[in-house]
């Protein structure tokens, strides 16, 4: 069963993979630390602005109730 390389080559490849994966993990963590505040800034919606309009009582419905209209608008 001659494979052409020794167990030391296998060990070196294994250790190289460990180092590579640790560097990749560190890179992902550092990237997410920089990107996360930017994403949360864009994802947070601005507060909904509402405008309240009071209807003139002389033109209100016959029941005599005051009607309160709310108009909502999103600002992008």
Backbone angles phi, psi at 72, to 5 degrees: -105, 145
* C-alpha to C-alpha distance for 76 and 45, rounded to whole angstroms: 8
> What does the pLDDT look like over 33-57, one tens digit per residue?
999 988 888 888 676 777 777 766 6
Domain ranges, residue 51? 7-73
Q: Determine the pLDDT at residue 40.
A: 87
pLDDT at 76 over 50: no
CB-based contacts of 66, cutoff 8 Å, min separation 6 = 54, 55, 57, 60
Q: Is residue 43 part of a domain?
A: yes
Higher pLDDT, 54 or 63: 54
Mean pLDDT of 20-34: 97
Q: Is residue 59 part of a domain?
A: yes
Q: Is residue 1 part of a domain?
A: no
Please state the domain count of the chain: 1
Q: Is residue 2 part of a domain?
A: no
Q: Is residue 25 part of a domain?
A: yes
Q: Is residue 42 part of a domain?
A: yes
């Amino acid at each position: 069963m001659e494979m052409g390389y020794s167990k030391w080559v296998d060990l070196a490849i294994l250790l190289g993979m460990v180092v590579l994966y640790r560097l990749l993990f560190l890179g992902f963590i550092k990237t997410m630390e920089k990107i996360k505040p930017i994403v949360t800034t864009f994802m947070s919606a601005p507060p909904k602005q509402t405008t309240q309009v009071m209807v003139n009582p002389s033109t209100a419905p016959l029941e005599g109730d005051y009607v309160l209209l709310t108009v909502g608008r999103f600002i992008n």
